[in-house]
Structure 1
Amino acid sequence: MNRRDAGPRTPVKTAERTLELVEFLKEADGATLTEATEAVDLPKSSVHNYLQTLAHHGYVVEDDGAYEVGLRFLDLGAYARTRVPLYPVAEPELEAVAEETGELANLLVEQDGRGTFIYRMKGENAVKIDSYNGQQILLHTTAIGKSILASLPEERVESILDRHGLPAKTENTITDREELHETLDEIRAEGFSYDHEERISGLNCVATPLFHDGEVVGAISVTGPTSRMSLERIDGEIKQQLQNAKNIIELNLSYS
């Protein structure tokens, strides 16, 4: 198994509790001390000390008795994004795709077996969905994630599926490993992947992977409502625009 998919041999409990608290505050969209205490199963005094320490360093903020994730994490996330060579190369091309299609254009990279959106650009008609730069997703639930899975070595794919499983996000999510492998074979053959309401009901998506030096480094996609993302439109203008962007991004990666 890739070490990125394996847990630490000697986990530090304090660090794990801290991260567990931060993750809970994110998922709960903020919480009181009592709610946080119930979530992590620690004495209230200990949870209070954790939260106050995080607040002192700007990673948590307290507002009227509720604790929320602080903007200090934005500083770390923005810095981490600058360390991804793909980002500055792909950004202008995704802006062009969003402008040309009027839809939501996305850039995803894989790390630790999950996908992270490092850039999302809304076109004029893009739908408003619960998504943001830095958001993490399970790769099997989206076209953009499946395009990366299809481009990874088989052993890496298996380690990701062993770790994260195939939980459903909607009734259309692929939850059977054999079916997923058949889909990945189709993606490899065509070079494009599709998502028909598999992560968010009412949305369709088409994606293609990005390569550098023979290895997948990310993927780009266009997402829109099913009413506008017909098969005819996807097979026509949208796939062509993605292919154009892919060619430019991969060339610039090679010669930048």
Structure 2
Amino acid sequence: MFRVQRAFTQLEGRAHGPGALARAADLDDSTVYRILQSGVHQGIFVREGRGLYRLGSAAPQLGLKALAHSPAPEAAHALLEALRRATGGLAFLYLLAPFGGAHRQCVDMAVGDSDLTELGMTPRAVQTVEHSLRVGAAGRAILAYLPETIQSEVLDRPVPTEAGPGAYQDDVRLLASLARIRARGYALGHEECAAGWNECAAPVTWDGLVMGSVLVMKPKQVMTRCPVTVIEAVERTASALADLGRGRPAGPDGDDSRTK
């Protein structure tokens, strides 16, 4: 059952026939057909006609159940605070919010004494407003690892009017930036979300699936070019958050306790 579910995530498009799913799952057609029929009755799969199936509502319920048992917020916040101290910037944690279209939503932040007015927003606005995945290093760090069908849906939407002057307006350049992110493992942003602010972000993945991203923002005059030390700190934090999601606790200062 799980091999067939995973096959849906490996194939482009939302609906597939038993044959394509069998090849992706490395199972024989008859076995996949029986699994699909059983899954339809359980709500795991939905029959769309003409021999095609898509994932049903019971599939994301498994993911939501896993998120419900994710680490305590205090552990993730400690990692953000450690990142803020290490970089001297503002640190944010975003999670993918797929319902109603793919967005990113800020679920926590470590901003020290800042009230975020320099970004033209309040902490409440940052945490309650969903943001486009096509704008900002945090959004592109997530978008780079999503299926092409979701990427196309995101690119079909206009650039938000509140985006900064450095936001990618051209889809060709945006797609090229996603390829660079996949090659490097992190994203850099220059005045994409707010004028005068540059960014560095890395994806947070659980078992090969992108769940969100961690971001550091610093004033442009302080971080004209992102130093290696900031990139490495962001990547370490993203890795530690991924370990938390897999049930591997990090140390009290944000370091992976397994390395101590």
TM-score interval w.r.t. the shorter chain? 0.5 to 0.7
Is 1:243 the counterpart of 2:235 in the alignment?
Answer: yes
Q: Which residue of 2 aligns with 1:93?
A: 79
- In the TM superposition, residue 136 of structure 1 has moved relative to its aligned partner by 2.0
Contact 1:204/1:229 (CA < 8 Å) preserved in 2? yes
Is 1:120 the counterpart of 2:109 in the alignment?
Answer: yes
What is the TM-score with the length of structure 1 in the denominator? Answer: 0.61
Contact 1:98/1:121 (CA < 8 Å) preserved in 2? yes
- In the TM superposition, residue 113 of structure 1 has moved relative to its aligned partner by 1.5
Contact 1:204/1:223 (CA < 8 Å) preserved in 2? yes
Q: Distance in 2 between matches of 1:114 and 1:99?
A: 28
Which amino acid is the alignment partner of residue 165 of structure 1?
A: P
For the residue of structure 2 that corresponds to 1:221, the secondary structure is: strand
Contact 1:86/1:217 (CA < 8 Å) preserved in 2? no
**CA 1:119–1:87: 2 relative to 1, 3 Å:** farther
Matched residue pairs, number? Answer: 175
Deviations 1:140-186 (A, max 9, x none): 11000010000111111112223x33345233211111111011001
Q: Distance in 1 between matches of 2:138 and 2:191?
A: 13
Query: Equivalent pairs: percent with the same residue?
Result: 25
The answer for unaligned runs of 5 or more in structure 1 is 3-81
**CA 1:146–1:123: 2 relative to 1, 3 Å:** same
- In the TM superposition, residue 83 of structure 1 has moved relative to its aligned partner by 4.4
For the residue of structure 2 that corresponds to 1:91, the secondary structure is: helix
Q: Distance in 2 between matches of 1:189 and 1:123?
A: 32
The answer for unaligned runs of 5 or more in structure 2 is 1-12, 15-66, 249-260
Q: Which residue of 1 aligns with 2:158?
A: 165
Aligned runs of 1:69-218 on 2, under 5 Å?
Answer: 83=68, 85=70, 88=73, 89-111=75-97, 112-123=101-112, 128-129=118-119, 130-132=121-123, 133-162=127-156, 164-167=157-160, 169-218=163-212
Aligned runs of 1:21-40 on 2, under 5 Å?
Answer: none
Q: Distance in 2 between matches of 1:118 and 1:141?
A: 18
Is 1:252 the counterpart of 2:244 in the alignment?
Answer: yes
Which amino acid is the alignment partner of residue 206 of structure 1?
A: C
Q: Which residue of 2 aligns with 1:59?
A: none
After superposition, the CA RMSD in angstroms is: 2.5
